[in-house]
Amino acid sequence: MNKTPLLLLSLGLLYLAPALVNITGFIDIGIAQAADSTSETRQSKIVPAMRDRVYSQLARAQKQADEGDKIGGFAILDEVKARLDSLNSYERAMLWNFYGFMQYGNDDTALAMTSFENVVREEGIPDSLYLSTLYSLAQLAMQQNHYPKALGYLKQWQSVNKKALTSGQNLLFAQIFYQDKQYDSCITYIDSAIAQALAKNDLPAENWLILQRAAYFELKQPKQVTKVMEQLVRYYNKAEYWPQLAAMYGEIGEEAKQLAVMEAAWQNDFITKPNDIISLVQLYLYHNVPYKAASLLNDAIDKGQVSAKEKYFNLLAQAYLMAKEDDKAIPVLQQAASIAETGVFDAQLAQAYLNTEHWQLAQDAAKKAIARGGLSSTGTMYLVAGMAQFNLKKYDQALTSLTQAISYAETTKVAKQWFTYVEKEQIQQNRLAMLN
C-alpha cells in the first residue's frame, strides 16, 4: 500500500457478511445490498433443506463461541466436519460459513478466506449467500493486501449482481483499484460514489475525497487535485487543507489565489506550522508586499513560532530592506551577523549603514565583511567602504578602497566613476585649503 499524508483507504470489514442460520433457514447479518441482489447469469439453484440435527450442532457451536468458548465452538464444528460426506451442499456451505465467521472472529483471516472460498464452491446455496460471501472475500483479500485477488472476487460478484452499485460498493472498487495502481479505474468508481452522495444532497465522505485526490495526484493531474482540495476546504474546513490548497494554486500557476487562500488561512489561525508561516512570508515577498512579510516573520520569531535561525534572520532582513525599512533591518542583521560564520550579514549591514548615512559604521562593517569572507561580491564591499570613507572626507583611504573595487569585474565600472569623482573632490578640497 502506498502511504501518503492525507490518505485513509482501509475499509476494514465494514461490510463483512457471513450468513448464519436460524430455525427458519438462514439470515444475513451483513450487507443488505449484496443479500438482496438476484442473479441473471447464475441460474437459480434448488437449495436443499438443512436437517434439524445439523442445524442444532451449528447453533450449539455459535452459542459456545458467543459465550467465549471458541475452542468448544470449533470442536463442535469439527464433529460436523467429520461427517462431511453425509451433508448436503447447503449444509456443507453453512458449515464452512460458520468456520469462516469464527475464524475471522479469532483473527485468522487466511483460514477464514479458505472457509469462505469453500462456501462459494458449493452449488446448492442461495444467491444471496453466494453474493455476500464473494463480497466478503473481496474485502478480506484487500485486508491481506492481495489486490488482484480482491478485484477478481469483486468482478465475479459483479457478474452475478445486476443491481446498480451503491456508493459503498463503488468505494470498495475504487480503493482496490487504487491499491492495484489502476488509477484511472479508481477515479471512475470514486467519482460515481461522490456523485451518488451529492445526488442525495449528502456530503461526500472526507476519506472519499482524500482517495480521489490521491488518485489524481498519481495521475499527475494537478488541476484536478486542486478541484478536490477546494471541496475538502469547502466541506470540511480543516486547518491542514488550506495551505495544501494554496500550494496547489501555486502548482497550477494561480499565484493570486494562492496568496488569497494563505491570507485567509492566517486570519483564521490555520497557519501555525513554521513551514507554512515561511511560505506566506515568501508569498508576500513574491507579490511585492515586503512590509507584511517582515511584520509576519518578525512576530513569528518573537513568539517562537519560527526558530531564530540564520536563514530566517536573513529572510527577515531582506524583507525589511525591500520595504525600505533599513533602520528595522539593522538590528536583525546585527543579530544574524553575531551567529554567522561568514561576512555575509556584515556586508548587508554595511549596505544598510550606507543607506542610513552611518558612514563610520558602514566603513567598519564593510571591512569586517571582507575580513570574514564568504561574500558573493567582495568588490561591492570595497566600493561601499570607499563611498563611506569619501563621506567621512578620508579621501586617500577612499581612493585606496576604490582602487581595490576596480580590480573586481562586477564593480569596475562604478568604482572607476567614483574614483574619478573622489579624485576631483580631493583636488577641490585641497585648493580650498590652500586659499584658507
> Mean pLDDT over residues 164-190, rounded?
92
Under the banding of pLDDT at 50, 70 and 90, the label for residue 163 is confident
Band (431; pLDDT cuts 50, 70, 90)? confident
pLDDT at 42: 57
Q: How confident is the model at residue 49 (pLDDT cuts 50, 70, 90)?
A: confident
The rounded distance, in Å, linking the Cα atoms of 61 and 56 is 9
Segment 194-206, tens digit of pLDDT: 999 999 999 999 9
Cross-strand partners of 22:
25
Taking the C-alpha atoms of residue 242 and residue 231, their distance in angstroms, rounded to an integer, is 11
Res. 34: pLDDT tops 80:
no
| Residue among 128, 123, 118 at smallest CA distance from 19 | 128
1 has pLDDT over 90: no
Assign 9 a pLDDT band (cuts: 50, 70, 90).
very low
Q: Which residue has the cell 483499484?
A: 177
What DSSP character marks residue 85? G
Q: 3-state class of 39 per DSSP? A: strand
Q: Which helix (H) or strand (E) holds 195?
A: helix 183-199
Q: What does the DSSP 8-state code read for residue 408?
A: S
pLDDT of residue 288: 94
What is the distance between the alpha carbons of residues 184 and 177, in angstroms, rounded to a whole number?
A: 8
Task: Grade residue 22 by pLDDT with cuts at 50, 70 and 90.
Answer: very low
How many whole angstroms separate alpha carbon 6 and alpha carbon 207?
Answer: 9
Q: Are 146 and 182 in contact (CB under 8 A)?
A: no
How high does pLDDT run on average in the chain? 86
What proportion of the chain, given as a percentage, has pLDDT over 90?
60
pLDDT for the residue numbered 45: 66
Helix (H) / strand (E) element for 383: namely helix 378-391
Q: Which residues neighbour 37 within 8 Å (Cβ) at sequence distance 6 or greater?
A: 127, 128, 131, 160, 161, 162, 163
Cα 354 vs. chain centroid, distance in angstroms?
46
- Mean pLDDT of the region 21-32: 28
Helix, strand, coil percentages in the chain from 3-state DSSP, rounded to 5: 70, 0, 25
Closest CA to 62 of 51, 52, 72: 72
Q: For residue 110, what is its C-alpha cell?
A: 487466511
Q: pLDDT tens, 354-372?
A: 999 999 999 999 999 999 9
Under 8 Å CB-to-CB from 228, ≥6 apart: which residues? 209, 212, 213, 216
Single-letter code of the amino acid located at 195: A
- The phi, psi pair for 66, rounded to 5°, reads -60, -30
Write down the pLDDT at residue 43.
Answer: 59
Predicted model pTM? 0.69
Which of the pair, 52 or 40, is modelled with greater confidence? 52
Measure the CA angle with vertex 193, ends 251 and 220; round to 5°: 25
> Mean pLDDT throughout 228-233?
97
Alpha-carbon span 325 to 328, nearest angstrom? 5
pLDDT at 236: 95
Write out pLDDT tens, residues 79-100: 989 998 889 988 899 999 999 9
CA distance readout (Å), 224 to 183, 185, 216: 13, 15, 6
Q: Give the pLDDT of residue 44.
A: 57
> Between the CA of residue 315 and those of 99, 259, 280, 366, what are the distances in Å?
66, 18, 12, 20
Helices (H) and strands (E) in the chain, counts: 22, 2
pLDDT at 36 over 50: no
The most distant pair of C-alpha atoms in the chain lies apart, rounded to whole Å, by: 134
In angstroms, how far is CA 165 from the centroid of its own chain?
30
153: buried, middle or exposed (CB in 10 Å: 19+, 13-18, 0-12)?
A: buried
Give the Cα separation of 313 and 334 in Å (integer): 10
Q: Is CATH 3.90.550 the classification given to domain 1-163? A: no
Grid cell in block for residue 141? 483479500
Question: Is the per-residue pLDDT at 29 higher than 50?
Answer: no
- CA 282 to CA 246: how far, in whole Å? 13
Mean pLDDT of all residues in 161-181: 90
Residue 252's SS3 state is coil
